[in-house]
Amino acid sequence: MNSPQLAEIPHFEKPLFFFDQSRFRRDLAEGARPLLEIFKDAVGAADTHMARRFREGEDVRTLVYERALFVDCLLHYAWYQYQWPETISLLAVGGYGRGELHPRSDIDLLILTTEKPSATVVDNIERLVAFLWDLKLDIGHSVRSIDDCIEMAEEDITVATNLMECRTVVGNPALHEALAKRMTPECLWPADKFFSAKYAEQQARHSKQQGAEYNLEPNIKNAPGGLRDIQTINWVAKRYFQVRTLKQLQGKGFFTEEEFAILQSGEDFLWRVRYGLHLLAGRPEERLLFDYQRELAREFGYKDNDTHLAVEQFMHTYYRIVMALRELNDVLLQFLDEVILQRGKHLPVTPINERFQLRGNTIEAAVTRTFTEYPSALLEIFVLMAENPQIDGVRASTIRLIREHRHLIDDRFRADPVNAQLFMQLVRSPRGLSKQLTRMTRYGILGRYLPEFGRVTGQMQHDLFHIYTVDAHTLQVVRNMRSFRSKEAWEKFPLAAEILSRMRKPELLYIAGLYHDIAKGRGGDHSKLGVADADAFCRRHDLSARDRRLVCWLVEKHLLMSAVSQKQDITDPEVVHSFAAEVGDREHLDYLYALTVADINATNPDLWNSWRASLMRQLYQYTQRALRRGLENPIDRDEIYEETQAQARNMLRAMGIPSNSVEDIWCEMGEDYFVRESADSITWHTAAIYQLQKDPERDEDSDTLVLTRNSGPGEHDGATEVFVYTPDRPNVFAAVVTGLDMLNLNIHDARLYSSAAGYTLDTFYVLDESGQPLLDEPHRLEQIRNTLQEELKLVEDYSKVIKRRTPRRLKMFHLASQAHISTEPGDTYSTLEITSADRPGLLARIARIFITHDLRLHNAKISTLGERVEDIFHITDSEDQPLADNALIETLQQAICQELDAHQATLPPQP
């Protein structure tokens, strides 16, 4: 079909000040260039122009609306390149239907007809859509009759919502008018059903985002407090009040002026973030990925300072804004629930006291002056909800009263003993504490009553270890503590559940949880800085001196148990004795254990696995035993040595292994082996070595033994054990860790021993990529044995370092490596501590460094914390002596860092 003459094409009537429509029409009329080229030039020029205006600080609303208008203009002229009957029109739907368009947002189109399109019309539609795709516009389209639209809208709330906001771009406007008449609440989706469907839709969307507005890489569109929450308010309110814009509702009681300002400014901020995100990504990206966070922080003018990175400041702003939007979403949807779903219903009113009453199952202030006359009611309402689980929530009018009166929480309010008593009543409540603390945070009460908590609200750390903001993490810690009382906890956290069931004052644990990270972001050691805040809280709330000391000790020492269990050798009696001396008694141990378990699980759920659980339980049990014996009567290494050997002898005798053969094997082992290994493990090793040595076909090539097992209940029951017995050569460790890395297994502990007979006995504790031992997977255990046997055959000339794809998130963090070597008096080895960025093959590379520098490795403690590793190695020189030359130590430390950082720098860039 021939294109119409330009004179036949009407002008696009709406003003577009940055686009020269006359020149565009002239280019079309002259026909000197291909049509597609003319349109592409217009799109490219508009993209460049608007991106420049954005970076110069232009109002984002202007840009979003003008972009939609520009696309309207393009579609207008593209539409008129073809002949159309009066029975068809082109409509914008969705966000584009609202006249909003971000750089890479979908342009959703509806080609609306009143009859089945003819073959010619179908051909024109296909050619039009192909032309728009050739323009690289993100077109989504459908071709439907009015009846089709209504039928689909009746079945699908999303379709109905999109059609509510459609508008005619070009074509016969009568079609949209006919559709709109059939889309009214009287004909389709009445306000109550529409509200219920959109509310359920929001809940499902929040659930997919883990119900959190503070994810590390939040979705600015779908996460709680995101753009969809704003749109949900718009959709429901406009449907109920039958208006085109929320602005038409000003002064009509739906929202206050302050709320409307929060809504507008919050949307402005999120639009600006989204606009910049689309420009950076070059695609319709809605996730604030780490690399985009950094770029946006720079573009928005944030700069690093002494305490916070620019990206942390930017994300702090982001989190506080989306939290405010989520709070507003709560109150406005609660208001709409009351006026839509509860309209006309008789809700019984039940007085609670002179200040509050129940209306149905929601609590409300008895009179509007409640908080003015009795400011303490700002805390009392949460106490009442905690003590009355039948209360479902707060009436919208009362949420507004709380928001309007929260300024009354000042120094005088905080110093009032009545308010201190109310807060402690809440903390001691048998149920609902974490739920009410969350509600207090959302309504802006907790951060005012505890200003130190308010300062960490929305504060984040730019790493993979701390996946929540400080306030969200803190509330999760308290939630975890409370969950230890549940039936489920006796299965998942049996020791914590048992401890909490006999705890003298659980509220002291909750207070320590509230304050353990309160000083984050101030610079310095937050564990020590937080003690002053915790002490002030305890004094203000009239806790006894004994209780105050316990809370402050927990705040100061909250990282101690985690550090000892993960970084030190807890089989060493001296390590356990030192920790027991720090703890002092059973009560401090109980509280510290419960706090640590709750803290680890609230920092990053992926951190808590069977291995860490095993380490924590063992340290608790060893310390409990040390405390029972008395700190003045520490366990002696000789005592452990003799007891372990006696137990193993009995087990080996029962297996029929001759005593003289056992003694021949054991005489080659050092004392350390019998002190650190359990009798069960020694029995397992000894029996296998005995069978290897008596094998008549044994030769030099079969002089290696690899054993695997999943540990049973007891010591190390949280990991798969891999035991290697092989002639002692320099590259054994490198070969084993490389082989395990090839199998995607993560090493969490390594114990290395050398026998007098020239063999090495190495035990590795490994987990799979999901942090679990290889339970009931005999084929995987066999695969480990075969792989390690093959790698160890190459050990004489071993140079292989595994190269596996580095996960995207890890590539975002280039952490400068640190290496520190120290030797304690009396130690037979030096301790090397390495902090570096995590990546596949890291342990294998470190092993190669040991080979290069002629170091012998005796033990390794592996700890991965998000994007970084904190590994500890016990090493000696080639003569099995600790490192003593300071110049050599300094050179070695620098060489380790340079090697690891050089490798990190060569990681491929993020695609």
User: Does the pLDDT value for residue 537 go beyond 70?
Assistant: yes
d(CA 466, CA 321): 20
What is the arithmetic mean of pLDDT over 640-652? Answer: 93
**Which of 250-264, 396-410, 727-741 is predicted most confidently?**
396-410
Percent of the chain whose predicted confidence (pLDDT) is above 70? 92
Task: For residue 287, give the DSSP letter.
Answer: B
* Per-residue pLDDT at 862: 77
What is the arithmetic mean of pLDDT over 527-541? Answer: 96
User: Does the pLDDT value for residue 511 go beyond 90?
Assistant: yes
- Torsional class of 247: left (φ above 0), alpha (ψ -120 to 50), beta (otherwise): alpha
Nearest to 340 by CA among 543, 483, 197, 462: 197
As given in the structure block, the two tokens for residue 1 are 């079909």
Count CA within 13 A, CB hemisphere, residue 884.
9
* Per-residue pLDDT at 386: 96
What number of other Cβ atoms are within 10 A of residue 651's Cβ?
Answer: 16
* Per-residue pLDDT at 806: 47
* Per-residue pLDDT at 5: 64
Report, in angstroms and rounded to the nearest whole number, the Rg of the chain calculated over CA atoms: 34
What predicted TM-score, i.e. pTM, was given to this entire model?
0.85
Rounded to the nearest angstrom, the gap between the alpha carbon of residue 370 and the centroid of all alpha carbons in its chain is: 40
* Per-residue pLDDT at 617: 94
Task: For residue 754, give the DSSP letter.
Answer: E
**Secondary element (H or E) of residue 587:** helix 586-603
* Per-residue pLDDT at 463: 57
d(CA 270, CA 278): 12
C-alpha distances in Å from residue 303, one per residue of 295, 314, 329, 692: 11, 9, 31, 64
Residue 755: φ, ψ to 5°: -95, 160
User: Does the pLDDT value for residue 74 go beyond 50?
Assistant: yes
User: Does the pLDDT value for residue 889 go beyond 50?
Assistant: yes
What is the arithmetic mean of pLDDT over 346-356? Answer: 94
**Which of 6-10, 87-91, 462-466 is predicted most confidently?**
87-91
Q: Which amino acid is at 557?
A: K
As given in the structure block, the two tokens for residue 45 are 């020029």
Strand, helix or coil for residue 356: strand
What is the arithmetic mean of pLDDT over 618-642? Answer: 90
**Which of 129-133, 663-667, 895-899 is predicted most confidently?**
129-133
User: Does the pLDDT value for residue 699 go beyond 70?
Assistant: no
Note whether 94 and 106 are within 8 A (CB).
yes
Class of domain 6-182: alpha beta
User: Does the pLDDT value for residue 808 go beyond 50?
Assistant: no
What is the arithmetic mean of pLDDT over 649-657? Answer: 94
Note whether 222 and 207 are within 8 A (CB).
no
* Per-residue pLDDT at 810: 44
As given in the structure block, the two tokens for residue 418 are 């009545």
Indicate the pairing of strand 746-754 with strand 830-837. unpaired
pLDDT digits (tens, 9 = 90+) for 792-807: 888 776 665 555 454 4
For 868-880, b where at least 16 C-beta lie within 10 A, e where not — what string? bbbbbbbbbbeee
**pLDDT tier for residue 668 given thresholds of 50, 70 and 90:** confident
What is the arithmetic mean of pLDDT over 653-658? Answer: 94
Nearest to 872 by CA among 911, 905, 840, 830: 830
Same fold yes or no, 6-182 and 191-341: no
* Per-residue pLDDT at 693: 86
The domain segmentation of the chain, as residue ranges, is 6-182, 191-341, 346-434, 450-631, 636-683, 684-905
**pLDDT tier for residue 910 given thresholds of 50, 70 and 90:** very low
User: Does the pLDDT value for residue 1 go beyond 70?
Assistant: no
Task: For residue 406, give the DSSP letter.
Answer: G
Strand, helix or coil for residue 332: helix
* Per-residue pLDDT at 590: 98
So what's the architecture of 191-341 in CATH?
Up-down Bundle (1.20)
Return mean pLDDT, the chain: 89
Strand, helix or coil for residue 171: strand
* Per-residue pLDDT at 592: 98
**Which of 45-49, 566-570, 696-700 is predicted most confidently?**
45-49
Query: Tokens 């689309």 — which residue?
Result: 278
Q: Which amino acid is at 412?
A: R
User: Does the pLDDT value for residue 791 go beyond 90?
Assistant: no
Percent of the chain whose predicted confidence (pLDDT) is above 90? 61
CATH 3.40.50.720 for the 684-905 domain, yes or no: no
User: Does the pLDDT value for residue 579 go beyond 60?
Assistant: yes
What is the arithmetic mean of pLDDT over 616-632? Answer: 93
Least confident of 187-196, 204-213, 579-588, 778-787: 204-213
